[in-house]
A and B are shown apart, each in its own frame.
Chain A
Amino acid sequence: MADDRDAAPAVEVRDLTFRYPGAAQDSLHGVDLTIEAGDFVAVVGGNGSGKTTLCKTFNGLVPHFWNGDISGRVKVAGRSTARRTVGEIAHDVGYVFQDFGNQLVRPTVRDDVAFGPLNFGLADWEARTDAALRALEIDDVAGTHTWQLSGGQQHLTALAGALALAPSILVVDEPAAEVDPRRAAAVYEHLTRLNEQGVTVVVIEHHAELIARYARSVVLMDAGRVRWHLPVDEALARTADLAEAHIPAPQVVALAQELVPDVAAGRRRPPLTIEECAAMLRDAGRSEQPGAALLRAPDHPGADGSPAPGSTSGPPAGSDVVARLDGVRYGYRTISGGKHTVLDGFDLTLRAEERIALVGSNGAGKSTLLSLLSGLAVPEAGAVEVAGRDTRSVSAAQLSSQVCYLLQRPEEMFLTDSVRADVAMHPTGRRAPDARELVEQVLDRTRLTDLADRDGRLLSGGQQRRATLAVGLAMRPRLLLLDEPTSSLDLRSRDDVIDMLSALAEHIRCTVVATHDMHLVAEWADRVVVLDQGRVVADTDPATLFASPDVLRRARLVPPQVTQVGHALGMDPLPLSVAETTRRLAPLPTEELV
């Protein structure tokens, strides 16, 4: 980096207004923003607030790639982007897209990382490539084909590809959207290390917990404007602004605000980490009152005194069984001609009225299990029985009246040009006599009536998930299977989906969700099946799972913050939600706190 440019801010935006071609309103309006070199900035804001558009002005994609109407000025590392090409700016600004999978254009990891330096004709491209691979610790997979990588590794590859040009600014759009929490933390650790080496890091992020832990300042975008740019602790204290932007406060902040009067009154900085929060609660004299465990939320059946459901050896309770896997073996043929067995001798029984979360790291067999239950795949050995029928004896299409499988990527569920038509597809295809009423009823229940004539793809992330849920509901299944229903959602939409799943329980006999999202597990599930390398390593309720460190480590799971705080405070059983913790830690009315 040139010396004379060290002094300049990393990014300087002045009075920037931008409108996409053909759009009805400005996506950015009068934006002023200065990002100092060496900062670690989190850009937050609701859907459509202009976060991504703003970040794309940093590397010149706006307006050189998206040539809409623009006025104002953007200076990056001291130089205006107006008359430089995207390629030139790329030496200053590295960019990792939200759908990073499509950012990889070369077959192997090393090729892809070297793509930029080679295109620019940099003679030291090999050294740059190796350095980037080493910096992100993916040199051991350098020769692997990119489609063989896990989501987390793909993300790191995309990051390395941007790093290989040695930019002084790195922009990462939602690094935690599609990976499990532990991998998200790993990405952030890498970003932090780069930041310590002098790289300015800009992330677009929904997760207040990650912002609290890693960012130094926060930019709040609202309706195409920068509402404020503040140091992270000040920013997180403005919970009302954040909540408005669909960024609920981290659980540690919420807990402190509920239980520490100084924080609630704004006299004291809210805690940013588990340790701080636990210490603060201890200081405030909050510890579990005797008997308070009885105040646990009644909507968690596994904890209300009844025995934890669903150990695999449990007695099959006759008609209660919705689906059963019996000695199932299933494998894939791999590209090298070998065979990779995912499940072998696998037994599992799903019963009515269960809310089952299927957790485990990538490749543990979650998706395979779902496709076996849906009848799309049939086992090599053993039997899968759904609603009393062997999946081998009925076609997947016949089975679809009993089982509904909602894919992870909503856009693959939208087969027609309107949400209404997608929802109506199954009932009208099967000539259900009440199809019309059913569709309207389902749309109403999922609050989609107003959006029903739009294409599902054009909805926001949360609306898309609701629409896929509506598709599933209209099929009136006994067994509902969902693959990662909360991935890449902002937290408000995620809570929305969780609430909706809870509300649907009365219409569906059994729901199975494959997920990385521990909030979903904690707040919704009553039974957790932990898979690791095709085996069930635990089959229990959420509180028990979060109290089993071995299982958590093995399956790469990170419990929600509130549970971790509970652990630090020695609560038993572990709390699963902020509300529950508040109840249990609140002073009992008859006692006086010292």
Chain B
Amino acid sequence: MSSDVTAAGTSRARLADPRTLSGSQKLMILALSMTLYGVGDIVASVVPELQVGPLELGVSYFSFIAVVLAALLSPFWVAVGAPLGELVFSDMLLGDFSGFGELEGFLQTALAIYVAGCLVRNPLNRVQVALAPVVMVLVDKISGGVVDIAKVLVGIDPETLEEADGLVGAFLLAEGLDIVVTVVFSGILFGALPALWLTPRLYGKLEPIMGLRPRDPEHPPHLSGPRGTRFWPVAVLALVAAGALALLAQWEEFVGREGGISTIGAFEPDYVDQYGDVWLWIAAGVALVVGLVLFVLVAALRRRRSADTADVRSSDDDEASF
């Protein structure tokens, strides 16, 4: 925009296209979303909760922080930064670190934030801003729920499953209630409402501090995979990866639920015995594959980046003008 108003006769150059982020800007967005979401997570765990039976009527995370950031800045880097903050700040610092299991949560939250952030084309559009946190919570919870339900369906012998209608029903009910409560508390009370209040206040104020241009409603970010690949296949891959990791990490949760709900009458420890080890190995295998894929991706990105930065030096570089 301002390049159009250059003084006549002077040549102006812009070293980088303003719409693509420089490495340091990415790092800045990452660091900002990481710290803010991390602090938000610590604060969220301090806000009092009401426990009604098994349901916790409380805020599980401050979705508004991630959504506001993703609506104003690059959704992709916020989506990487925010769950990293959760992992480092609250999980690791508070000692609630579940090792491998963190990766599953990381992927789910990242996906949710990315989708929600891309939804906001214009940060001043109240509908989009209000919808984004709800979508974020839904994507996060539903992808988590799908993974959980898949585990139950696959993990239990079909014969037992038939005997245990109640089990799946109870399970679905629990997941459903959990989603409703989370949408109300984390998606609306600590999501949509604060986001509606904060986004317009920060729009155009936060970005210049970091040397960025405010989001242009004419050119919103689009859902896309890394390096211009299509989004949905990548998202599904991420979900599968999350599921595989979940199988490894949330094994105990699954068995734990069985322990609780089994009293309805269908629990047979033998099946766990029988399938337990198999599952573990399948999960480990999938995790290995995912790890390899990630490794290849990272390596490719690195090569690409070094190709970007390597440029030919010439003697007149020392005299170059902008």
A63–B24 alpha-carbon span in the complex (Å): 12
Interface string of A454-467 (1 = CB under 8 A from B): 01001000000000
B318 touches A71 (CB 8 A): no
- Residue A216 at the B interface, CB < 8 A? no
- Residue B213 at the A interface, CB < 8 A? yes
A82 touches B322 (CB 8 A): yes
- Residue B2 at the A interface, CB < 8 A? yes
Smallest CB gap from B318: residue in A: A79
Told that A22-B1, A69-B2 touch, could you supply 16 new A-B pairs with CB distance under 8 A? A17-B7, A21-B211, A22-B207, A64-B15, A65-B22, A66-B211, A69-B3, A69-B12, A69-B13, A70-B12, A73-B319, A73-B321, A73-B322, A80-B318, A83-B313, A417-B201
**Provided the pairs A19-B2, A23-B2, A84-B317 are in contact, do residues A63 and B15 lie with their beta carbons within 8 angstroms?**
yes
By a CB distance below 8 angstroms, the chain B residues around A84 are: 317
A71 touches B13 (CB 8 A): yes
B11 touches A71 (CB 8 A): yes
By a CB distance below 8 angstroms, the chain B residues around A458 are: 205
By a CB distance below 8 angstroms, the chain B residues around A14 are: 321
A67–B20 alpha-carbon span in the complex (Å): 11
- Residue B6 at the A interface, CB < 8 A? yes
A65–B15 alpha-carbon span in the complex (Å): 10
- Residue A78 at the B interface, CB < 8 A? yes
Count, chain A residues at interface, CB 8 A: 30
**Provided the pairs A20-B211, A65-B24, A71-B12 are in contact, do residues A82 and B321 lie with their beta carbons within 8 angstroms?**
yes
A491–B18 alpha-carbon span in the complex (Å): 38
* Among candidates B16, B212, B311, B322, residue contacting A72 with C-beta atoms closer than 8 Å: B322
- Residue B229 at the A interface, CB < 8 A? no
Which of the four size classes fits the interface of chain B? 20 to 34
By a CB distance below 8 angstroms, the chain A residues around B22 are: 64-65, 67
Nearest Cβ on chain B to A561's Cβ, whole angstroms: 37
B13 touches A70 (CB 8 A): yes
**Provided the pairs A22-B208, A69-B12, A455-B205 are in contact, do residues A83 and B311 lie with their beta carbons within 8 angstroms?**
yes
By a CB distance below 8 angstroms, the chain B residues around A79 are: 317-318
- Residue A75 at the B interface, CB < 8 A? yes
B213 touches A78 (CB 8 A): no
- Of B13, B214, B317, B322, most buried by chain A (CB within 10 Å of CB) is B322
List B3-41 residues whose CB lies under 8 Å from chain A: 3, 6-7, 10-16, 18, 22, 24
A538–B291 alpha-carbon span in the complex (Å): 67
Interface string of A5-46 (1 = CB under 8 A from B): 000000000100101111110000000000000000000000
Interface string of A335-354 (1 = CB under 8 A from B): 00000000000000000000
By a CB distance below 8 angstroms, the chain A residues around B11 are: 71
Nearest Cβ on chain A to B12's Cβ, whole angstroms: 5
Smallest CB gap from B321: residue in A: A73
B213 touches A21 (CB 8 A): yes
**Provided the pairs A19-B2, A66-B211 are in contact, do residues A83 and B12 lie with their beta carbons within 8 angstroms?**
no
By a CB distance below 8 angstroms, the chain A residues around B321 are: 14, 71-73, 80, 82
Nearest Cβ on chain B to A15's Cβ, whole angstroms: 9
B320 touches A73 (CB 8 A): yes
B318 touches A78 (CB 8 A): yes
B2 touches A65 (CB 8 A): no
Nearest Cβ on chain A to B256's Cβ, whole angstroms: 36
Nearest Cβ on chain B to A456's Cβ, whole angstroms: 12
By a CB distance below 8 angstroms, the chain A residues around B208 are: 20-22
27 A-B contacts (beta carbon < 8 Å): A14-B321, A17-B10, A17-B12, A21-B208, A21-B211, A22-B1, A22-B213, A63-B322, A65-B22, A67-B15, A67-B18, A68-B14, A69-B2, A69-B3, A69-B12, A71-B11, A71-B12, A71-B13, A71-B322, A75-B318, A79-B318, A80-B319, A80-B321, A83-B317, A84-B317, A417-B201, A455-B205
